[in-house]
Homo-oligomer: A and B are copies of this chain.
């Protein structure tokens, strides 16, 4: 069953294999008349791109986005926006040797079980490269949200066992996140994270971590209980990103060890507005946004590609064997997941704002 479309009013369809001709996305349901250029998209794609630092794989993905439809004279038409990025500099040779030997922790094995016939080159559809479409679509959602006062912030809060322990302000995140290769907004912690990541990498290994995304300025009333609750769709969106193994809203797992008197955010008046004094709920109660910042975290598993030898099965001969991957891989994927998680949160929120009448589709006419 086709599962490559996301969203209800704002609908995103991605396509493309890592080493295929190109990769792309169709974004349907964007209100007409919104200014949009390739530069708006390119900016976000450049954040996602590998080869940005010593901490990312050096594959040179130029990733020039081309808008093929849906924009005319610098403004959206209300018709589907099709975007394409050519795949260049792909080297499929290393994958020939292991094409019948699924890499542990990768989707290779599962794709083989599901589809039988697979594109083994560079992970095919299951590769991190698939997120190009998500980020391009997210760039449009972010622009639409920004025009309605909503800001999305993402940052790495833990990597290789090194965690940010204090609460960071939006101002700190905005200022610091792009200043260090870990996209950690606490610069001191960022340095230690980087060291820990490189230490594992030197050992032929990889590390995991935790990424946080927040949305500020989100109107109250988003979310469609009981199944299409805002948190349920945020969880769906974030869990659909490769390598994500947990989604936490607000205080997340900490709730399990709280008492009710501690967990319940008191309701108070601030400047004539009804708000919660604290925000352990992460901006969502009963699946509906309260007007407080939306806060979600994701646990990211270590990059499955490591250079240590690993046990697997040669599916062609049905015999156990060992593989050792060659090349340089992202030793920690958190910094590159930051823009992807931001994109997914932006898509969910833009969709929900349209559903809830908080974005008027006729707004830019």
Contacts and interface: CB of A to CB of B under 8 A. Distances in A.
Contacts of A341: none
Contact of A229 (B239, B263, B281, B289): B239
A318 interface: yes
A2 B28 contact: yes
A320 interface: yes
B5 A221 contact: no
A184 interface: no
Number of copies: 4
Nearest to A3: B224
Contact of A286 (B6, B22, B106, B251): B106
Contacts of A81: 15
Contacts of A285: 105-107, 109-110
Contact of A110 (B1, B7, B237, B290): B290
Contacts of A286: 106-107, 110-111, 126, 242
Interface in A207-247: 207-210, 220-229, 231-240, 242, 245-247
Given A113-B288, A226-B3, A313-B274, A261 B306 contact: yes
A82 interface: yes
A111 B77 CA distance: 10
Contacts of A220: 110, 113-114
Contacts of A266: 104, 310-312
How many interface residues does chain A have, given as a range?
Answer: 35 or more
A339 interface: no
B226 A130 contact: yes
A188 interface: no
A9 interface: yes
Given A5-B5, A234-B239, 12 more contacts: A4-B80, A4-B227, A20-B69, A77-B118, A78-B114, A105-B285, A110-B221, A205-B260, A232-B235, A232-B236, A239-B247, A239-B249
A124 B77 contact: yes
A10 interface: yes
A264 B365 contact: no
B161 A257 contact: yes
A69 to B, nearest CB: 5
Contacts of A253: 210, 245-246, 248, 253, 299
User: 7 shortest A-B CB distances, which residue pairs?
Assistant: A107-B286, A3-B224, A2-B28, A2-B29, A3-B228, A105-B264, A116-B365
A229 to B, nearest CB: 5
Nearest to A33: B117
Contacts of A304: 260, 263-264
Contacts of A125: 77, 79, 225-226
Given A15-B80, A113-B291, A315-B274, A300 B255 contact: yes
